[in-house]
Structure 1
Amino acid sequence: ELLRSVINTNKKHGPGWIAAARLEEFAGKIVAARNLLAQAVEFCPKSEDVWLESMRLNENHNAKIIAKEALKHNDRSVRLWVEAMKLETIMSNKKRVLRQALDHVPQSVAIWKEAVNLEEDPADARLLLAKATELIPLSVDLWLALARLETPENAQVVLNKARKAIPTSWEIWVAAARLQEQIGAEQMVGKIMDRAVKSLAKESAMLERERWIEVAENCEEEGANLTCKAIVEHTLGWGLDEDDDRRKIWMDDAKSSMVRGRYQTARSIYAYAIRVFPNSSIIWLAAADMERNHGTKESLVSLLEKAVEAVPTNEVLWMQLARERWNAGDIDEARRVLGKAFQQQPGNEDIWLAAVKLEADNGEVGQARELLRTARQEAGTDRVWIKSVAFERQQGDREAALDLVNQGLQLYPKAAKLWMQKGQIYDSKGMLPQAREAFNTGTRACPQSVPLWLLAARTDEKAGIIVKARSILDRARLAVPKNPELWVESVRLERRAGNNAAASQKMAQALQECPTSGLLWSERIWHLEARTQRKPRTLEAIKKNDSDPILYVTAARVFWGERRLDKAVTWFEKAIVLDPDIGDSWAWYLKFLRQHGTEEKQEETINKCVLSEPKHGEVWQSIAKAPENAKLSIEEILKLVATKLE
C-alpha cells in the first residue's frame, strides 16, 4: 500500500515503480510485477533502470520487443544496447545490434569492446579496434587491445601512435617495454622506461613511487620480470630527496613486496638500493637473506661474492659466503674465501674460529690446532682461548686442555667460561676436590655467572656434600637475585635429597620473587602438584605470562597426557614459533610425534629444527655442549635430546 501511494503521488519516479514490482515478484506474483512495469515505462520512458527491470522480468521474446521500444526512447543508452545484444541468441544478430549501437553511440568504449569480443577472427577484431582508436583516440584500453592483437612490428607502430595520442598514459609506456621484453630486445626495455619517466614527468603525469612498485609487481605476476626490474630501476628514487632516509624507505619497500610474494620486485629494489648505497652492509645482508629464503644457491653465492668486494670489512658477509661454499661441499673454495677474509681483517676472531671449524670438521686436526695457536696470538680474545680449550677437550687431550685453560685464566681471570672448563676438565678426570676448587674460585671471580654457580653446587652435590651445595645456591641467589635458574636448582636439590616439603617451601619463595617464570611454573606443575591440579596450574601460569615457550610446552604435555592430541599439537607449534631457538621445545614435539604423528610430520619437524639451528634449552645444551658430541649434527642432537627427555 505504501509503495502504491508512492507511485500514485509521483508517477514519474522510476525507483518507486521498480520497488513495487520487486515486491510483487518476491510475493510470487510475476504477472502483476510485469504489468506494473508496463505502466512504469509509459510514465518514465527515459529511465534506463525501469526499462532494464522490465526486460529482466519478461520472457526472452517479450524482452526483445521491450528492448526495441526502450531504444526508441533512449538510443544513446550504452546499458540498454548491451542488454539488447545479450538477449539475442544468434551471433549474427548480436553483431547486428552492436553495429546499430555504434551508429548511435560511436564514442562508447564499452560497446566497441563488446563488439571486439564477439569477433572470432583476430583479423576482424583488429579492423574493429583500428576503427575504434580512430574514433576514440583517448581510450588507453582500446589502443592496448589493438596492440595485443598485432604482430610485434605492428604493435610497436600502434603503441607509438597511442603515445602521441595520449602522452599522459603510463600504461602505454609499460606495454611498450613489455613488448620489447617479449621480442627479446632486453636492452630496449630499460631505454623505454627511461624515456617513459622523462616524458611522463614533462607531462606532469608521473605516478607516485608506491604506485610504480604496484605496477612492477603486476608485471612480475604476469611473467614480465625484465620490465618489472626496469620499472623499479627508473622510478624507485622518484620524489625522494637525498636527505630523506632513502635506505630505510627502500628496505621497507622490499620487505613489503616480499610479504606479498613478489620476490623479483624485492630483488630489483635491493639491487637499486645497493647501487645507490654500495657500501651499506645492512642492505647487502637483507638482500642475501632474501636470496637464501627465496632465491637459488647460485643467486645467493653470486650476490655474496659481490657483497664482500663492496664491503670487505664486514665479517658476517665473508662468513656467509664461506659457509655457502662449505655447505655446497667446496671445501677448497671455502678456505680461499676465509683466506681473503683474513687479509681484510687479520684480528677478527669470528673468521679465525670459522677457519678452525672448517679444518676440524674435515679431519684436519693439526691444521685446526695450528690456526688456533696463531689466532691466540693474532686475535687474542677470551673467546679464542675458550674455543682452544674446547677443541683439545673434543680431541680427548685433557692435559693440553688443562694447560691452555690455565694460560687463558692468567690472561682473562674474569672469563667465567674458562673457569667452567677448568672445573669440567678436573671433573672428567675424576678429580672432584680440584673441580670444586676451580668452580668455587670461579664464583668468586665471576659472581654474576649463573652457570658457574650451578656447576659449583652440582659438584658438591655429586661429592655428597648436600649442605655445602645448599649453601652455594643460597649465596648464588644473593649474588644474582630474581634468577629462575638458581631458584629451580634449589628446588631440585631438595627434591633429589628427598626433602619434598623443603622443595615446596623453596618453590613458594621462588614464585614470589619470579612470578612469571615459565621454568619455575613448569617445575612446580610436573613435580610438586597432584596430577589433577596440573591443568588448572598451567592455565594460572599462562595468565601470568602468556609468552613463555616453556609454559606452552607444559600446556602441550598436559593435553598430551589427557589424549587431547589436536590441542597438544597446537601448543607445541605455538612454542616453536614463539622461540625456535629453544631446542628442548623441538625435542618434546618430536617425542610427541614419534607416538602420535606421521613419518612425514616427523621429517618436516626435524627439517624445520635444522633450519632454526636452536642453541638453548636445559637438556639441549647439556647434550650439544658435551665434548664427545662436538661432531654431531643438529638432527642427531635433536634425536638424542628427544630420547633423553622425561
Structure 2
Amino acid sequence: MDLRRKDRREARLKQEIEKYRASNPKITEQFADLKRKLADVSVQEWESIPEIGDYSARNKKKRFESFVPVPDTLLEKARQEQEHVTALDPKSRAAGGTETPWAQTPVTDLTAVGEGRGTVLSLKLDRLSDSVSGLTVVDPKGYLTDLKSMKITSDAEISDIKKARLLLRSVTQTNPKHPPGWIAAARLEEVAGKLQSARQLIQRGCEECPKNEDVWFEACRLASPDESKAVIARGVKAIPNSVKLWLQAAKLETSDLNKSRVLRKGLEHIPDSVRLWKAVVELANEEDARMLLHRAVECCPLHVELWLALARLETYDQAKKVLNKAREKLNKEPAIWITAAKLEEANGNTQSVSKVIERGIRSLQREGLDIDREAWLKEAEAAERAGSVLTCQAIVKSTIGVGVDDEDRKRTWVADAEECKKRGSIETARAIYAHALSVFVAKKSIWLKAAQLEKSHGTRESLEAILRKAVTYNPKAEVLWLMGAKEKWLAGDVPAARAILQEAYAAIPISEEIWLAAFKLEFENNEPERARMLLTKARERGGTERVWMKSAIVERELGNVNEERRLLEEGLKLFPSFFKLWLMLGQMEDRIGHVGKAKEVYENGLKHCPGCIHLWLSLASLEERINGLSKSRAFLTMARKKNPATPELWLAAIRAELRHGNKKEADSLLAKALQECPTSGILWAAAIEMVPRPQRKSKSSDAIKRCDHDPHVIAAVAKLFWHDRKVDKARSWLNRAVTLAPDIGDFWALYYKFELQHGNADTQRDVLKRCIAAEPKHGERWQAISKAVENSHQPVDAILRKVVLALGAEENPNAAEP
C-alpha cells in the first residue's frame, strides 16, 4: 500500500512545494529580471552610482560635549618623543653593539620622516629647475614618452611570457631550421625587455637558417647601430641574391657615395633587379644616371619605366631611338606611344602628336590589345596635368568613341566631360566637348554646356569664339544669341551686344525673347527712346502681354502717366487674364493718389483673376489704409475662402492684426494657419518670431521637423543664433539659406548685414560677390525696393545695401528682447 501511494504522495508534495514557492518566492527570483538587465549597464553608469553612506548619524541628536584638561604626564611624554637624542645611553655602550636593550629602543620620529621626504622632493625639483626664472629643463614631450615606454608587467603577463617562452623554445629545438620560430622567440624576448637575449636568439637563428633573408633582416633590426652593418654584411654574404638585404645595407649607409657603392655591388650579383637599378639611379647625377639606365635597359629590357626614364634624360633624337627600341621590346605597352607624343609636343612638332597617337592605337590593336576607353581617358588627364595639352586632345579624339554605341554617344560623352570637369581636368573636358560638337554640330545642349565650361574656366575670348561658332551652326537657337549678347554687355561693349542682337533678329525675326533682350539692353543703358521704339515695333508685330508690360514700364520710367495708363488699358483689353497688368494699373492709380480708382482696378482684376494672390493682398492693403482693419480683415477672409491653403493670405492677416496690436487674434490666426498649411515655411518662420524668446528654441525645433529644407525656416533659425551671439552657427545657417534659395534677395541682405556686424572685409566681399552672381529677383523687401522707380537702373550691390538699411530700420538683432 505504501509503495502504491508513494507516487501520489510525492506528486502532492511536489505540488505543495511549488504552491509555496509561488506564494513565497526567493529574493533571487524576485529580482531575476532586474538582474538580467544589469548586463546592459555600462562601466560609466556603474561608476556614477553613489557610494552608500551612513546617514543615520545625521539624524541623531547631538550629545552635550564636555572638555577636560589634559594631564601633565601626557604632555611631558609627547615632548620627550619629539626630542632628538644627541648622546649614547651608557647601557647601549655596555652592550657593545651586540644587542639592543629592549627598554631603550627610541620611538620613531614621524615628523622628521615627513620633513625628510619633503626635503628630498624639494632637492629633486631644484635640480630640475633652470637658473632662469619660469623655465624648466624638463622636456614635456620626452618626459611623457619616457613614461609611456615604462612597461609595468603584471603577474599575468609574466606568466604568459613564461608559457610562450617554453613553447617557442620547444619550436626552435624540435625544428631549428624553421625561421619564423627564431623570429618569434627573439621578438618575445624583446617584448619582455631582454634585448640581449633577443639578439642571442636571432644570432642562433641566423646560424641555423643562413639562407633566409627575414632572419637576417630581423637580426639587423635588433642589433645595435654599430653592429647592424656587420650583421647585414654577413647576411648579403650568405644570400647574395637577396634584393631586400642589399637595399637594407644601402639604407644603413650615411653618405650617398657609400649607398651607391653598396647598390652597385648588389647589382653585380643581381643585375636583373629593377628595384636596385631604380635606387642607384636616384642617387646618381644626370650623366651617371643616363649611363646606368643604358645598362639597366640591357639587363631589364621588359621594364617600361626604365625605358621611359632613359628617354627623358636623352636628347630629342636619342630619345626617339630609345623609344623605338622600347617599342620593339614592349610592343603592347601604351605608355611608350604616349611618351613619344609628349616628346613631339615638347619639341614643337604639333602636327605629329595626333599622328603618333593614332599610329600607336592601330599598332596596339594589331597586337591584339583591347583599347580601354576609361584607361585612355585617365591617361589624357595625366597628360593634361603634365602640361601636354595637345597629347591630351589627341588621346581624347582617338579613343573617346571606342566601345560606345551610336545612340549613346551624346549622353556618354557629355557625362564624361562633366566628370572630368568635376575632377578639375578642364582641358580634357574641353577636348571631349570639341569632339562631341564635331559629331553633333546641331545639338544646342552640347553648345550650351561647352559655353558654360568656357564661361567658368575659360577666357572671355574663348567664350565669345565658341558662341560665335555656336550661332553659326544653330542660327535659330535664341539662348545662344542671348548668351553672346549678354557677355558683350557684361564686358562693357554695348555696340557689339547691339550688333549681335541685330544679327539674331535677322535670323529669328519672330522671336519675342530677342526683342525683349534688345529692349533691356537699351533700357538698362539709359536709352529710353531706343527702348520705346523697339517695343513699339514689337507691339505692331503682335507682341505678347510681356511686351505691353515692358512698354508700360518704360512710360513709368519716363513719367508719362497718361501714356502708361493707355498702354495698360489697351493691354488689358487684349490680355484680361494677365494679372501683372491689373497690378501695375492699380499701383499707378494708387501712386498718383486715385485710391478709389485703384480699388476699382483691383476689384475688376479679381473678377478676371480670382486666384491671383497678389491682387488680393494689394486690395487688402489698400483697404487697411483707407477704411481700417475691419474692411481689410473681411477681404482677407474672403480671399482665404476662395483660395484655401494659401500661406501668403494667412501671413498677411496675421501681420495686419499685429500692426494694430491684436496679439491674441494674431496668435489664433497663426494656429489656424499652421493647421491648414502645416508645411509652410513662411508661417513657421513667423511663428518662431512671434513666440516669446524662451520658447523660440522649441518652436524652431518643431519648424525644422516640419520643413527642414525651407529657406525661410533656415533664415529664422539663423537669426536665433545671431541673437544668441553664436556667430559660426549663424553664418552656417545663413549660408545654407542663400544656397537653398539664391533668387530671394532678402536672405542675401540678411547675410550681408550679418557679415557687416560680425565678419571681416573678405567675408563681406565674398557675400557681395556671390549675391551679384546670383542676381536675385524675389523677396518681399527686395522687390519693394528694386521695383521702385528711383531704383530701376540700380545695380545689384546698390539694391543689396538699400535692403540692408531697410532691415536695420525694421529689426535690430543686437537689441535685448523682452
Look up the match of 1:58.
Answer: 223
Following superposition, the deviation at residue 106 of structure 1 comes to: 1.9
**Alignment match of 2:184 (pick from 9, 13, 19):** 19
**Cα deviation per residue 1:209-254 (whole Å; 9 max; x = unaligned)?**
22222212222222222212221121111111212x2222222212
Runs of 4+ deviating beyond 6 Å: none
- Residue 636 (1) aligns with residue 801 (2): no
**Alignment match of 1:68 (pick from 222, 233, 238):** 233
Superposed, 1:202-221 pairs within 5 Å as 202-221=366-385
Look up the match of 1:328.
Answer: 491
In the alignment, structure 1 segments of 5+ residues that lack a partner are none
- Residue 350 (1) aligns with residue 484 (2): no
Q: Distance in 1 between matches of 2:526 and 2:321?
A: 67
Q: Distance in 1 between matches of 2:559 and 2:208?
A: 104
**Cα deviation per residue 1:339-371 (whole Å; 9 max; x = unaligned)?**
111112112222111101111222222111010
Q: Distance in 2 between matches of 1:487 and 1:621?
A: 20
Look up the match of 2:309.
Answer: 145
Look up the match of 1:627.
Answer: 789
Q: Using a 3 Å threshold, how does the CA distance of structure 1 residues 14 and 515 change in structure 2: closer, same or farther?
A: farther
Following superposition, the deviation at residue 429 of structure 1 comes to: 1.3
8 A contact 1:349–1:379 mirrored in 2: no
Q: Distance in 2 between matches of 1:32 and 1:440?
A: 104
Look up the match of 1:88.
Answer: 253
Q: Distance in 2 between matches of 1:458 and 1:507?
A: 19
Following superposition, the deviation at residue 45 of structure 1 comes to: 2.6
**TM-score calculated relative to the size of structure 2:** 0.76
Look up the match of 1:470.
Answer: 633
Following superposition, the deviation at residue 334 of structure 1 comes to: 0.5
8 A contact 1:7–1:13 mirrored in 2: no
Following superposition, the deviation at residue 51 of structure 1 comes to: 1.3
Q: Using a 3 Å threshold, how does the CA distance of structure 1 residues 21 and 516 change in structure 2: closer, same or farther?
A: farther
8 A contact 1:347–1:379 mirrored in 2: no
Look up the match of 2:476.
Answer: 313
Q: Distance in 2 between matches of 1:407 and 1:636?
A: 34
Look up the match of 1:114.
Answer: 279
Q: Distance in 2 between matches of 1:587 and 1:15?
A: 71
Following superposition, the deviation at residue 443 of structure 1 comes to: 1.6
**Alignment match of 1:230 (pick from 376, 388, 394):** 394
Look up the match of 1:411.
Answer: 574
Q: Using a 3 Å threshold, how does the CA distance of structure 1 residues 91 and 639 change in structure 2: closer, same or farther?
A: closer
- Residue 303 (1) aligns with residue 472 (2): no
- Residue 41 (1) aligns with residue 206 (2): yes
Percentage of pairs with the same residue: 46
> Aligned residue pairs: how many?
643
SS across alignment from 2:576: coil
**Cα deviation per residue 1:262-318 (whole Å; 9 max; x = unaligned)?**
212211121122112111111111121122122221221111111111222111111
More off after superposition, 528-537 vs 553-562: 528-537
Following superposition, the deviation at residue 26 of structure 1 comes to: 3.6
**Alignment match of 1:102 (pick from 256, 262, 267):** 267
Look up the match of 1:482.
Answer: 645
Following superposition, the deviation at residue 161 of structure 1 comes to: 1.3
8 A contact 1:197–1:206 mirrored in 2: no
Q: Distance in 1 between matches of 2:295 and 2:556?
A: 86
Q: Distance in 2 between matches of 1:320 and 1:27?
A: 77
Following superposition, the deviation at residue 379 of structure 1 comes to: 5.6
Q: Distance in 1 between matches of 2:308 and 2:649?
A: 73
Look up the match of 2:124.
Answer: none
Look up the match of 2:700.
Answer: 538
Following superposition, the deviation at residue 206 of structure 1 comes to: 4.1
Following superposition, the deviation at residue 46 of structure 1 comes to: 2.9
Following superposition, the deviation at residue 97 of structure 1 comes to: 2.8
Look up the match of 1:279.
Answer: 442
Look up the match of 2:603.
Answer: 440
8 A contact 1:144–1:175 mirrored in 2: yes
Task: For 1:308, give the aligned amino acid.
Answer: V
SS across alignment from 2:559: coil
8 A contact 2:555–2:563 mirrored in 1: yes
Look up the match of 2:527.
Answer: 364
Superposed, 1:170-249 pairs within 5 Å as 170-243=334-407, 245-249=408-412
Look up the match of 1:156.
Answer: 320
8 A contact 1:181–1:227 mirrored in 2: yes
Q: Distance in 1 between matches of 2:474 and 2:271?
A: 63
8 A contact 1:3–1:19 mirrored in 2: no
Q: Using a 3 Å threshold, how does the CA distance of structure 1 residues 379 and 253 change in structure 2: closer, same or farther?
A: farther
Q: Distance in 1 between matches of 2:765 and 2:227?
A: 67
**Alignment match of 2:760 (pick from 594, 598, 609):** 598
Root mean square deviation of aligned Cα: 1.8
- Residue 512 (1) aligns with residue 675 (2): yes
8 A contact 2:342–2:391 mirrored in 1: yes
Superposed, 1:550-561 pairs within 5 Å as 550-561=712-723
Higher-RCO chain (CA-CA 8 Å, sequence separation at least 6): 1
In the alignment, structure 2 segments of 5+ residues that lack a partner are 1-162, 811-818
Task: For 1:214, give the aligned amino acid.
Answer: K
**Cα deviation per residue 1:86-109 (whole Å; 9 max; x = unaligned)?**
223454543333333223222211
8 A contact 2:734–2:751 mirrored in 1: yes
8 A contact 2:528–2:554 mirrored in 1: no
**Cα deviation per residue 1:449-468 (whole Å; 9 max; x = unaligned)?**
22122112212222225333
- Residue 124 (1) aligns with residue 257 (2): no
More off after superposition, 585-594 vs 196-205: 196-205
- Residue 260 (1) aligns with residue 423 (2): yes
Q: Distance in 1 between matches of 2:185 and 2:476?
A: 80
Q: Distance in 1 between matches of 2:762 and 2:297?
A: 59
8 A contact 1:169–1:205 mirrored in 2: no
**Cα deviation per residue 1:105-157 (whole Å; 9 max; x = unaligned)?**
2221111112222222x222212211221222211001001001101221111
Look up the match of 1:577.
Answer: 739
- Residue 394 (1) aligns with residue 557 (2): yes
SS across alignment from 1:461: helix
Look up the match of 1:288.
Answer: 451
Give the number of the structure whose alpha-carbon radius of gyration is greater.
2
